[in-house]
Amino acid sequence: MDQPKHHVYAVRAFFKVALIIELIAVVFLMPIRSAMAQTDTGKVKSLLSAIDKHNTKFGAEKLYITFDKPYYAVGDTIWFKTYLLNAATKAASLNSNKIYVELLNDSSQVRERLVIPVTAGLGNGDFKLETNMAEGAYTIRAYTNWMQNFGEEQFFHHRFYIGKPTERSWVISEQHQIIHTEQNRQVKMAMQIRNPGGRPVVGEAVTLRLLDGRKGISKADVVTGVDGSLTADLQLPVGANSRNLSLLLISKQQAKQIKFPFYTRTGNDIDLQFMPEGGNLVTGLYNKVAFKAVGEDGLGVDAEGTILNNKGEEVSTFKSLHKGMGNFALVPAIGETYTAKLNLPNGQSMLYNLPVAKTSGIAMRVDGTTNKDTVRLYISGTADKANAEYVLIAQGKGNTYFGTSFKLTNGAFNTRIPANKFPTGILNLMVTDIDRQPLLSRNVFIDRGDGISLAVTPDKAAYVVNDSIALNIGATSKIAGVVQGNFTVSITDDALIDPAKRTQHLGSYMLLSSELKGNIEDPAWYFSAGQPMAAKALDNLLLTQGWIGFDANKVFAKKQTEPIFWAESDNTVEGELRNFFNKPATNRKVTLMNYRKDIFVLDTVSDNAGRFKFTGLPTSDTVAYFVKIHNARGKEAAVGINVKEFTPAPLPAPDSVRMMPWFANTDTTLMRYLKASEKRLAAKIGPVNAKGDLLKQVNIKSLRKARLQGERGEDVYFADLDIDDKILTKQGNISLFEYLKRNIPEFHKRLPKGGGARDFWYMKAAILGNIIIDSVPVTRYYTAVPFITDFFQQMLENIPAASVKNMVVYHKPTLNGKDWYSLMYIKTRLGNGPVLKETPGIYIYRPLPLYMPREFYKPKYLAGAEPSTEIRSTLHWEPNLVTNEQGQAKLSFYAADKPGIYTVTIEGTDMQGHFGATTRKIVVGPGNKGK
């Protein structure tokens, strides 16, 4: 048989990484051949051309963030590193030069948004978790403006719990047993309540309430014993939603209420889903059927049982291999339906219906695990499909590797595809009819074994407390030998941070998680060495999790859609001008001004469509631009200006999976970390020996350091006003100005002491000299009209009180030392800076300020110095470790003042589609440094 012709659209990129990473892309086409295909038609070429055109227009990005540790406490700092790669080549993305990183609470409200500048695909930043934030589940969401074209599922998400223990906190250890009766289910509860220090809560009168959502369904009044224990019997009605249950503990003595999710874990509420391989279950054909069993908490559970036909006869069996996933074989018969009988741990069983088999169609079977060098493909069809023509497409994210047409010979089409024709990662095999309608789809993982191997070699065989520790890092691969790459290093204390809580790394995300829909439990496990069942378990995962591919209706539409969101590849200001009749204002002089220390003025002229653009603007952490339009005589013109501005992505719906809080059934490592965080926080915010007036209207302690720093970055200990979002978020739709007028008598307007024709705003006895919003002084925009008092009022009226995160007002002496003036510092949630009213012919453009990351604190212990007593869960954070031409790099840090075991975690990439991750233990023994 003649070898078939294949149309191949493959893209590869080669990138060289040095201390400054340079990106050079080489694009070429690579033909592939396989067996038993028919000669390609013009329709196949047209189909592949449409996919290639779509991939070119909508070239996707992948964004991953790695963190210094897997969980945090209030007052801690989240250190992170961003990797922004081209989805097709896994090289640095050339589309975007900034990333939007948001901290969302469990109600999907933005607590903070950072704009991280990106250089050669890399960036880093940090979130300081303020002491006034509420504990709970939080999500870090990150995306580029370009990624908004592809929807929320393409964004990066990382969810974790932020704890806030105090001496009044309760730590709950809970166990229960469910007893079934005719009317309901009885919950026999056993519980122990302690404080964070481990001391039992004795003789506490507690009311336990079992809730279904917000509805109370059972309660018990109990008193804790001498060891803090209690027992109770609660009723669980049969109709209760076991996926929405919570336990509420109420103590009237301490005026305390705590609530946490309650999972029965009886196995009676398992969601068992069935997914035929390829998507179709067809009678008379061999079908592989994948399944996934999910418990009340949204996590996979072990599942085992039998498959029965409608006569009650056993035709197959099933048993999960990993995380509730597995597969079984089935040849459905015409006229029969099938049921899965799931065996429960308590000896009972549950029945689930399988999808009804089609009497006409085709089925697919793929084997990519028996021999990792070859992908075997088997396609079979019913008799009526024998003469139909089909198209097989092999594709990855943003790449189409080949496509060919084929017909079923004797009801089957079988072929072998060499795996070395594809890069490491998920390969999607799709079968369409000749009219471009998708019929079958199957994912298979290609493992070329070309990952990066990382070696960590300590400079000494043993270390003691406060010792200097140096590590040599080596990066190699079987393809390139030594590897130049960019890596992230985090070193944590095992006594405070459990390294097993890290369930993902750069490689597992880029090659797996970012390609699939839905939650993937512990994706890094599938890449672990020494896991003999990992390949088969990964294949089951690919069978059960949908592929995030293209939308066939959009790709094959007669008229291609255009991207809505633009790629921010440069720092630009662009827009269009419209005249009074809404026509393009052409050939108008446009001036761009930046009012900073590095002030600059740029000019351009609008084109025939009224468009203008300024490119190559400098990177800045606080910036605002004036755009002015001039007429032919050089004067300001009353022309409408529309500047292209970034719009944040819509907020997602709150996550339906409820996280267990830190205080419920917590492990000892997490408990030690939270206690250590509490001590460290208490040491940092302790009161100083100072006195000051307290305002009665708000809860202010001027003895404490203010939440925001002063004009020159100095700490403020005598704030006249220090208000946080706990108060401001409750103010509804009123402006910040209205809030101040209603609640702060010290904020008022009057004539100055020496007299004058105009009033000024005062805070106490000091004239308000300036308002600084998100580090931007508003007087930068003052043009002498209106009067400064009215101007300040306008600025405050433009800010909703609920949008303010912190506000601090304090007073300073004037330069001559004879008088005082006050400064108002405002930090908004979104960091947009001052909001001004529009003026014809003038546009004030305030892009979100770029965040300049702080430097991780690295203590230095000099000879003879006192040992450090600072509690450090993260001992070292190195976001940009670059290996040299020999694949080598070095780093050093100091051990803490207590013996322990440290975990060194390293991950990174060579920016050529290869990834590496490893961990290494460092043991620190007792003794004094140098002895």
| DSSP character string of 778-843 | GGGG--S-S-HHHHHHHHHHTSBGGGEEEEEEEEEE-TTSS-EEEEEEEEESS--------BTTEE
Neighbours of 158 (CB within 10 A): 18
When pLDDT is cut at 50, 70 and 90, the band that residue 237 belongs to is: confident
First-last CA distance in the chain: 78
Q: Which residue has the higher pLDDT, 78 or 595?
A: 78
Please work out, in degrees rounded to the nearest 5, the angle formed at the alpha carbon of residue 749 by the alpha carbons of 743 and 751. 155
792-826 tens-digit pLDDT: 998 998 888 878 888 999 888 887 777 888 999 99
Least reliable range by pLDDT among 283-287, 318-322, 621-625, 670-674 = 621-625
Cα–Cα nearest to 112, from 121, 103, 125: 103
Q: Which residue has the higher pLDDT, 692 or 904?
A: 904
Q: Which residue has the higher pLDDT, 689 or 250?
A: 250
When pLDDT is cut at 50, 70 and 90, the band that residue 735 belongs to is: confident
Average pLDDT over the chain, rounded to whole?
A: 84
pLDDT at 867 > cutoff 60: no
pLDDT at 304 > cutoff 90: yes
3-state secondary structure of 201: coil
Give the pLDDT score at 838. 56
- 136 contacts: CB under 8 Å, gap ≥ 6: 105, 106, 161, 162, 661
707-725 tens-digit pLDDT: 887 777 777 877 888 888 7
Highest mean pLDDT among 14-23, 106-115, 407-416, 917-926: 917-926
Cα–Cα nearest to 365, from 286, 422, 292, 428: 286
pLDDT at 290 > cutoff 50: yes
Beta bridge partners of 492: 874, 903
When pLDDT is cut at 50, 70 and 90, the band that residue 20 belongs to is: very low
When pLDDT is cut at 50, 70 and 90, the band that residue 681 belongs to is: low
Give the pLDDT score at 22. 27
Paired tokens of 289: 């059927």
- d(CA 413, CA 385) in angstroms, rounded, equals 12
Q: Which residue has the higher pLDDT, 138 or 264?
A: 138
Q: Which residue has the higher pLDDT, 313 or 5?
A: 313
pLDDT at 274 > cutoff 60: yes
Highest mean pLDDT among 150-159, 341-350, 681-690, 698-707: 150-159
pLDDT at 856 > cutoff 80: yes
* Average pLDDT over every residue of 565-580: 90
Give the pLDDT score at 692. 30
**What size, in residues, is the chain?**
931
Give the pLDDT score at 469. 95
pLDDT at 659 > cutoff 90: no
pLDDT at 790 > cutoff 50: yes
* Average pLDDT over every residue of 304-328: 96
What pTM was estimated for this model as a whole?
Answer: 0.81
- 740 contacts: CB under 8 Å, gap ≥ 6: 747, 796
- 729 contacts: CB under 8 Å, gap ≥ 6: 802
Cα–Cα nearest to 6, from 324, 418, 362: 418
Give the pLDDT score at 666. 84
When pLDDT is cut at 50, 70 and 90, the band that residue 633 belongs to is: low
43-102 tens-digit pLDDT: 888 888 888 888 888 899 999 999 999 999 998 999 999 999 999 999 999 999 999 999
Residue showing tokens 């963190």: 67
Give me the percent of the chain exceeding a pLDDT of 90.
Answer: 47
Q: Are 596 and 617 in contact (CB under 8 A)?
A: no
* Average pLDDT over every residue of 193-218: 90
When pLDDT is cut at 50, 70 and 90, the band that residue 413 belongs to is: very high
- 220 contacts: CB under 8 Å, gap ≥ 6: 189, 207, 208, 232, 233, 234
Give the pLDDT score at 222. 93
Q: Are 886 and 880 in contact (CB under 8 A)?
A: no
Give the pLDDT score at 678. 73
What is the signed CA dihedral for 575, 580, 581, 584, rounded to 10 degrees? Answer: -30
pLDDT at 903 > cutoff 90: yes
pLDDT at 700 > cutoff 50: no
- 236 contacts: CB under 8 Å, gap ≥ 6: 178, 184, 185, 186, 187, 210, 217, 218, 245, 264
Give the pLDDT score at 320. 96
pLDDT at 748 > cutoff 70: yes
Give the pLDDT score at 684. 54
Q: Are 416 and 429 in contact (CB under 8 A)?
A: no
* Average pLDDT over every residue of 523-534: 90
Paired tokens of 574: 């662009």
When pLDDT is cut at 50, 70 and 90, the band that residue 39 belongs to is: very low
Give the pLDDT score at 623. 67
What is the signed CA dihedral for 826, 831, 837, 842, rounded to 10 degrees? Answer: 130
Give the pLDDT score at 907. 98
Give the chain's radius of gyration (CA, Å): 32
DSSP 868: P
